[in-house]
Structure 1
Amino acid sequence: MTILIDDPMWPNHGTLWSHLVSDESLDELHSFAAENEIPRRGFDLDHYDVPARVYQSLIAAGATPVSPKTLTRRLIASGLRITERERRLARASSHTLTAR
């Protein structure tokens, strides 16, 4: 099991955020997130956005801290990476479904 987390450096909603990923499977990622009370609404197709306040507790729970570049490389190598084009298409189709 390898869960990776990058440094909290992404600003939004008045705090900094990290990305939490698995380089193994989405099931592994969702299990780790659920065990650590990370809400499913934080999932963004291939990663969870997690606030800086939980960074240390996620490392204590087993997440491996890595640089953003390493996190991205490992996610791509795993085959789990969602491209920006795929992300836009997924968002467009979810908006279509909710508009009905």
Structure 2
Amino acid sequence: MTVLIDPPQWPGPRGLMWSHLVSDASLDELHAFADRLGVPGRAFDRDHYDVPETVHAFAVSLGAQAVSSRELLQRLIAAGLRRRKLPARAVK
């Protein structure tokens, strides 16, 4: 069971760069880790948490494995935990 974090390379709120935090084992593990990290529940999006660059090093110090974005996505898919965003429905 591993929690993974990718590099903070995604522009986001407050002018910060953001990372994705995922588990390759279970959402329960991910939620527990995010709680230890102090990440609010509102940062959860389907299968990951969006976390600011300011917590990246702390996440690694708590045991998150720093990986590339590509590896993070591959491992999330392999674990069967990937939850894709549904396409917007066309309005008639």
Q: Same fold (TM over 0.5)?
A: yes
Q: State the Cα RMSD in Å.
A: 1.4
Q: After TM superposition, give the deviation of residue 84 of structure 1 in Å.
A: 2.8
User: TM-score when scaled to structure 2?
Assistant: 0.91
SS at match of 2:71: helix
Structure (1/2) with the larger helix percentage: 1
Aligned to 1:77: 78
Residue segments in structure 2 that go unaligned for 5+ positions in a row: none
Q: Residue deviations 1:8-37, cap 9 Å, x none?
A: 000011110000000000000000001111
| Larger displacement relative to structure 2 (75-84 or 18-27) | 75-84
TM-score scaled by structure 1?
Answer: 0.84
1:6 and 2:6 are equivalent in the alignment = yes
Identical positions, percent: 53
**AA paired with 2:78?**
A
Partners of 1:15 and 1:36 in 2: CA distance: 18
Instruction: Point out where structure 1 has 5 or more consecutive residues left out of the alignment.
Output: 93-100
Aligned pairs for 1:1-100 (under 5 A) are 1-13=1-13, 14-85=15-86, 88=87
In structure 2, the residue corresponding to 1:84 is in which secondary structure? coil
Between the aligned partners of 2:57 and 2:65, the Cα distance in structure 1 is: 10
